[in-house]
Amino acid sequence: MVGERPSIIRKGIKVISMIFGFISTLCLINSPSINARSNPGWPVIKEFVQKLDGFSSMSFPEANVLHLRLQARFGGLNVPEEQMFDWPVDIALDQEGRIYVLDARDCNIKIFKSNGNFIRTIAQGGSGPGELNRPWIMRLIKDKIYIADTGNRRIQVLDLDGKYLKSYRLPLEFGFGMDFDSSGNLYLNSQGFRDDRLISVYDNRGRSVRKFGDLEGKSFQYYDFALIKRKIRKGSLPDSFKNDVLLVTDSRDHVFAVHRALRKIRIYSTSGKLLETVEVRAEEYQKVYREFLRKNKEIENRPAAFYPLYYVNDLAVDGEGNLFILLNEPSQMIIYVYSDQGEFKEKF
What letter does residue 299 receive in the DSSP assignment? Answer: T
Average pLDDT value for residue range 311-326 = 92
Greater confidence (207 vs 15) lies with 207
Q: What is the pLDDT of residues 147-198, one digit of tens each?
A: 999 999 999 999 999 999 999 999 887 778 999 999 999 999 999 999 999 9
| Per-residue model confidence (pLDDT) at position 67 | 58
Give residue limits of the domains in the chain.
8-347
Q: What is the pLDDT of residues 214-269, one digit of tens each?
A: 999 999 999 999 999 999 999 999 999 999 999 999 988 899 999 999 999 999 99
pLDDT at 209 over 60: yes
Residue 327 in contact with residue 283, Cβ under 8 Å? Answer: no
Neighbours of 3 (CB within 10 A): 20
pLDDT at 56 over 90: no
d(CA 302, CA 144): 46
Nearest Cα residue to 147 out of 128, 126, 123: 123
Helix (H, G, I), strand (E, B) or coil at 284: helix
Look up the pTM and report it. 0.80
Q: What is the pLDDT of residues 79-90, one digit of tens each?
A: 888 888 888 999
Q: What is the pLDDT of residues 253-311, one digit of tens each?
A: 899 999 999 999 999 999 999 999 999 999 999 999 999 999 999 999 998 899 999 99
Instruction: Return the CATH number of 8-347, one of 2.40.128.90, 2.60.120.10, 2.120.10.30, 3.20.20.80.
Output: 2.120.10.30
d(CA 14, CA 5): 12
pLDDT band at residue 71 using 50, 70 and 90 as cut-offs: low
What letter does residue 24 receive in the DSSP assignment? Answer: E
pLDDT band at residue 9 using 50, 70 and 90 as cut-offs: very low
